[in-house]
Chain A
Amino acid sequence: MREDPIAVTAIGAVTALGAGVGCLWQGLLEGRRPFSRVRAFGVDGCRVQTAAEVTIAVPPIGGDRSAGLAVLAAREAVEGVLGGIPPDRIGLVVGSAGAGTEVLEQALAAPFDAPSEWWRRYQKRWLADCIATELGLDGPRTVVNTACSSSAVAIGLGADWLRAGDCDAVLAIGTDELGRFTYTGFHALRALDPEPCRPFDRSRRGLSMGEAAGCLLLERGVDARRLRHPIRGYLVGVGMACDAHHLTAPEPSGAGAARAIERALADARIGADAIGFVNAHGTGTPLNDAAEVASLVCALGPHAPNCPVHTVKATTGHCMGAAGAIEAIATILALENAIVPATAGLVDDEFAGQVRCVKGQPLPVDAAFAISTNFGFGGNDAALVFAHA
Chain B
Amino acid sequence: MPDPICSSVKGRVRVVGGSFIAPAMVAEQSRMRIDFEPQGLLGPDRGRRLDPLSQLAIVAIEHARLNAGLALGRTLETRVNEGVVVGSALGAVSTTVRYAKRLVAAGAAATNPIDFPDSIDGAPAAHVALELGLGGPSLTFTDGELSASSAIIQAARMIVWGRATRMHVIVGDRCDDWFAAAMARPSGPTGASVDDQSLLGECVLALVLEAEGLADRSPGGQMDPVDFEGFLSTDTATAELQVPTPVHNGRTVLPLDWFVDTRGNLRLSREPIAEAKRLVDPSGALALAGAWLGALGPCKNMLGARRAVVPEPIAARVHCGHKSLSKLCFVRHRGQ
Contact = CB atoms under 8 A, between A and B. Distances in A.
Contact of A108 (B100, B145, B233): B100
Contacts of B179: 119
B89 A378 contact: no
11 contacts: A88-B236, A105-B100, A116-B190, A117-B190, A124-B121, A125-B146, A128-B143, A144-B154, A164-B157, A240-B138, A243-B135
A189 B121 contact: no
Contacts of B127: 247
A380 B138 CA distance: 6
A376 interface: yes
Name the 4 nearest CB pairs between A and B, nearest first.
Answer: A378-B126, A185-B116, A125-B144, A165-B4
Contacts of B323: 138
B130 A180 contact: no
B11 interface: no
A376 B122 contact: yes
Contacts of B25: none
B143 A377 contact: no
A112 B76 CA distance: 48
Contacts of B132: 244
Interface residues on B, range: 35 or more
Interface residues of A, number: 72
B126 A380 contact: yes
Given A132-B322, A181-B103, A140 B112 contact: no
A88 B325 CA distance: 13
B150 interface: yes
A122 B97 CA distance: 11
Interface in B43-95: 74, 76, 80, 83-84, 89-91
Report which residue of B90, B117, B145, B187 has the largest number of chain A beta carbons within 10 angstroms of its beta carbon: B117
Nearest to B124: A378
Contacts of A123: 89-90, 142, 144
B138 A146 contact: yes
B29 interface: no
Contacts of A240: 83, 136-139, 163
A167 to B, nearest CB: 9
A349 interface: no
B319 to A, nearest CB: 12
Interface in A338-384: 376-380
Interface of B: 4-5, 8, 74, 76, 80, 83-84, 89-91, 96-97, 99-101, 103-104, 107-109, 111-113, 116-123, 125-127, 129-130, 132-147, 150, 154, 157, 161, 163, 179, 182-183, 185, 187-192, 233-236, 320-324
Contacts, number: 211
Most buried by B among A43, A44, A146: A146
Contacts of B139: 144, 146, 153, 240, 380
B89 A125 contact: yes
A185 B119 contact: yes
Interface of B, helix, strand, loop or mixed by DSSP: mixed
A39 interface: no
A101 B100 contact: yes
Contacts of B119: 185
Nearest to B89: A123
Contacts of B101: 108
Given A117-B191, A142-B150, A248-B117, A180 B103 contact: yes
Contacts of A118: 188-189
A144 B157 CA distance: 14
B189 A117 contact: yes
A237 to B, nearest CB: 12
B165 to A, nearest CB: 13
Interface in A115-148: 116-120, 122-126, 128-129, 132-133, 138-147
A118 B179 CA distance: 11
Interface in A276-294: none
A141 B326 CA distance: 10
